[in-house]
Amino acid sequence: MFHRAIHAPSLVLLRLYSWEQGAITFGINQNEDLAIKRELLDTTPLIRRVTGGRALYHEPSELTYSIAVNRAGLGNEKLSGSIGQTSEKISEALLAFLSEFGVAAQQVRYSGTDFLSRDSFHSKSCLESRARHEIVAEGRKLVASAQRQIGDAFLQHGSIKMSDTFSHPALTMPSIKSLEFNAISSLARADFEQYSSIFSEVMCEELNISFERKVLGKGTLLELRSWTDFVMKFPIIKRDPIKHLGSLNSLSR
């Protein structure tokens, strides 16, 4: 998505997906050895994001969103400006999405002191820290996001915790809830379809954009598989990238 946006002025891509298997992602600037307890990974896939931020466990019950934009010629004030400005507008749209389900949440207005600490940046997980414009509800982080800009293009993606929040033994933070992998079920198709429909409608209204809605099929999956050679040249995805990209996109529905 980011690659396409970089090379296509005025392009806006939005994707919502769930996880067939739980996975850990960590920021492009993090020290992997400090952020991850490798001996406790077991079979959990480990992915280095192309954006910043800290390590996070994505359980199958969550939603993950991604938006890629090339602002050249777009003429959209809500998707213009700095990382902080665009993050704020996207967070406002996410709050509107959550309100559709009766969730009263708020944006974090100031980054916590632990977020600014160099030591905690590598050792504390995403859910332990709070950055400006992230979303919290009832004392816990509900949506964690990260953004990266290159020229006129940016990619922002994030984890939306629609149910309970879980940690993973391989992360340095203590478990928020006891993690029993077999007890965490994936989102039902009907639930995902409802979330997806509402999410796209709210994003269109709040960000003043329009979408042609598509379901990712086998052709897109094959295209993503063709990126394997590119991915392996950079420390972005580890632990069988072909298999993991396939599982992500087969669940995009």
At residue 150, the pLDDT reads 92
Task: Kindly tell me the number of DSSP H helices and DSSP E strands found in the chain.
Answer: 9, 9
**pLDDT surpasses 50 at 237:** no
pLDDT tens digits, one per residue of 176-226 = 554 444 445 677 888 888 898 999 999 999 999 987 777 767 777 677 666
Rounded CA separation 69/52 (Å): 17
Q: What are phi and psi of 80, to 5 degrees?
A: -115, 160
- 172 phi and psi angles, rounded to 5 deg: -80, -15
The contacts of residue 172 (CB under 8 Å, 6+ apart) are: 34, 35, 36, 37, 55, 123, 124, 125
Tell me what percent of the residues of the chain surpass a pLDDT of 70.
72
Looking at residue 120, its pLDDT comes to 55
Q: Which domains does the chain have, with CATH numbers?
A: 2-214 (3.30.930.10), 216-245 (no CATH)
Residue type, 222: L
Question: How is residue 36 annotated by DSSP?
Answer: B
More confident residue, 127 or 242: 127
Q: What residues contact 99, with CB distance under 8 A and at least 6 apart? A: 105
pLDDT in tens, 52-94: 888 999 988 889 999 999 999 999 999 999 999 999 999 999 9
Q: For residue range 12-51, what is the model confidence (pLDDT) as tens digits? A: 999 888 888 889 999 888 888 888 999 999 889 999 888 9
